[in-house]
Structure 1
Amino acid sequence: MSLSPRRHATELETISVTVPPDAVEAYESALSTVCTTIGIFEVDDSQTLWRVEGVKDIGSGEDELRAGLIMAALATGVDAELERAHTEAEGWLARTYESFPEQLAGQRFAIRGTHLDGPPNTQRITITLDAGVAFGSGEHGSTRGCLRALEMVAYRRPQRILDLGCGSGILAMATAALLHKPVLATDIDPWSVRVTRRNATMNGLGNLVSCHLGNGWSTPAIRHHAPYDLVFANILARPLCSMAADLAHNLLPGGTAILAGLLNTQVRMVLAAHRRHGLVLERHLREGDWGTLILRKPHG
């Protein structure tokens, strides 16, 4: 979500498209050619669809918009339908801000957007996200579960840390801020890599969080820095199962894996896949319908 508020004398309209994650950046660029404000919102908890939404003066920039949408469709192979609605300027901006309040996670973390006024919570480690990023804002049960799990294992003082599928970079930044250790963050989505780098720099963690584009365990940067003694994988249940062998192979003896992105009803399936490769369950944390697993690789 990118916000550049401006008062308008003309009538406004909201235009939006609903697309899969890998088409978000192209359609964000298309709408940015004519919109004064852009928002990106998760459509459902599965993170399979996102709504890219912008506000523009009614009737303005139609040729540019049409050209931008054509280019986005050609670049992504996704021909998204454009939706339009009349919009009150202040109402849209208020709704965008309301969708991203400060989030308190665990006992030690606070996640807040750049649009929030007032000083940060001095009793917590505050991670500030660009108000230009509406995904990964800390409210999802998987993110909250991972932050709780991080607090539980921090005493082990891991040295080699990987955030696999980093999204907006919350887990990588929280770990770097809490442990003062370097964290390797990777994602298959170029947009997420760009956002994580921007967020890490904004939080003064650019020297600790290194973010790379890559596809799972085949990513060169991951192979280069392996093995790890702490791995986050906040993805989805089936990809977690398919990568269980790679995780076990790249985890140091005594190392910890924090797995999330799975429903509590999927825990048994994910746990069975990792037990087959020698990992053991330490904790199953619950945040509503979502589960987070803390797994350990035994010594020897």
Structure 2
Amino acid sequence: MTDAVIDSWRTTLPCTRAEAEAIDAGAVALDAVLMTTEEVEDDREHWRLDAFTENEPDAGMIAALRALVPSAAGVEPVVEPLTAQDWVTLSQAGLEPIREGRFVVHTSAHPIAPPTGGRAFLIDAGQAFGTGHHATTAGCLAMLDGLADRRFANAIDVGTGTGLLAFAVRHLWPEARVMATDIDAKAIDVTAENMAANQVGAIDLVVADGALADPITAGAPYDLVIANILAGPLVSMAPELAAIADANATVILAGLLETQRSQVVAAFEACGCCLEAVDRRGDWTILRLTAGAVRYVPTTPPDPKGRDGWALDL
């Protein structure tokens, strides 16, 4: 009998909800896919951190994971190899379909038909954020659904992850030009695969660090700008995002905690934007702003190398 091939490894440690939220909200520089899960419903103390790696974790990786979850001090991590039933399948096994307005998002393990007049998207869990199951992504879907009566001609999804939000834009405004960008080339590959799986077409895919890459500025200005990333990058990228937005453009921001709302809003108000709507989902907040009546032009072009590194939420 042939031994099963080990595809990857999973390391598990207990954590608290506060630690899980800090992991979800922060850019963690580890060569691992991190996933936090509520173990006991509405219990702040019983959460779990799973770290998926291609190779067996060494002492350095274990120490780095322990540093993320101080409450697990003294707890021995569970390290297990994964074979054909790899970490992608395991991570999506418990992801039930979600419904936001006319949209349904599901994995291969839980197929579901869309509502009448709606649209279902197949988005399997993988190495890019945006399955729709995180409050920020679901909230962005709801925000877009609420804008269905408006007209947009040129939209961009910065930090697209799986491409889900760009797909929703393409469904709502089939005549619009749509661009989806990400700092991670792997995320753009995932988006292309999801486009094919969902038969979504006519989306320009761009690998870019920030919003000032040539393909992005060449397509500006955009009358719909979406950025579901992290609070720190949103603040530092505010001049970039405002610079590619058309006058009176709609700007949707997510990936921030409610406690971070004021600093994000202040950064965009300084660039001429005005807060129009807020959707709070637990500790997470989704913002809708309107760009100024005059297109914003920074007096000093933002320096991409001066920004904090930004990454997609898990």
TM-score (norm 1): 0.72
* Secondary structure of the structure 2 residue equivalent to 1:155: coil
Q: 1:109 to 1:146 in 2, by over 3 A?
A: same
Asked whether 1:199 is paired with 2:198, we answer no
Q: Output the CA distance in 2 between the equivalents of 1:204 and 1:90.
A: 27
Deviation at 1:135, TM superposition (A): 4.0
Aligned residue in 2 for 1:283: 277
Q: Output the CA distance in 2 between the equivalents of 1:280 and 1:186.
A: 24
Aligned residue in 1 for 2:21: none
Q: 1:245 to 1:16 in 2, by over 3 A?
A: same
* Secondary structure of the structure 2 residue equivalent to 1:253: strand
Question: Contact 2:185/2:207 (CA < 8 Å) preserved in 1?
Answer: yes
Aligned residue in 2 for 1:99: 94
Q: Output the CA distance in 1 between the equivalents of 2:267 and 2:137.
A: 22
Deviation at 1:298, TM superposition (A): 3.4
Aligned residue in 2 for 1:51: 51
Q: Output the CA distance in 2 between the equivalents of 1:246 and 1:95.
A: 38
1:93-120 deviation per Cα after TM superposition (whole angstroms, max 9, x unaligned)? 9854433221112x11111112334x52
Deviation at 1:218, TM superposition (A): 2.2
Asked whether 1:267 is paired with 2:261, we answer yes
TM-score (norm 2): 0.69
Structure-to-structure mapping, 1:147-296, within 5 angstroms? 147-180=141-174, 181-205=176-200, 207-296=201-290
Deviation at 1:133, TM superposition (A): 5.7
Aligned residue in 2 for 1:57: none
User: Which has the larger helix fraction?
Assistant: 1
Q: Output the CA distance in 1 between the equivalents of 2:165 and 2:5.
A: 37
Deviation at 1:257, TM superposition (A): 0.3
Deviation at 1:88, TM superposition (A): 11
Aligned residue in 1 for 2:114: 121
* Secondary structure of the structure 1 residue equivalent to 2:194: helix
* Secondary structure of the structure 2 residue equivalent to 1:192: helix
1:32-53 deviation per Cα after TM superposition (whole angstroms, max 9, x unaligned)? xxxxxxxx553489xxx98325
Deviation at 1:161, TM superposition (A): 0.3
Deviation at 1:92, TM superposition (A): 8.4
Q: Which runs of 5+ in 1 are unaligned?
A: 1-7, 25-39, 55-64, 74-78
Deviation at 1:22, TM superposition (A): 7.6
* Secondary structure of the structure 2 residue equivalent to 1:243: helix
Asked whether 1:141 is paired with 2:108, we answer no
Question: Contact 2:11/2:80 (CA < 8 Å) preserved in 1?
Answer: no
Percent sequence identity over matched residues? Answer: 32
Question: Contact 1:232/1:257 (CA < 8 Å) preserved in 2?
Answer: yes
* Secondary structure of the structure 2 residue equivalent to 1:229: strand
Asked whether 1:42 is paired with 2:62, we answer no
* Number of residue-to-residue matches in the alignment: 253
Question: Contact 1:229/1:251 (CA < 8 Å) preserved in 2?
Answer: yes
1:135-182 deviation per Cα after TM superposition (whole angstroms, max 9, x unaligned)? 421111111111111122232211110000001111011111222133
Q: 1:213 to 1:88 in 2, by over 3 A?
A: closer
Deviation at 1:251, TM superposition (A): 1.1
Q: 1:115 to 1:41 in 2, by over 3 A?
A: farther
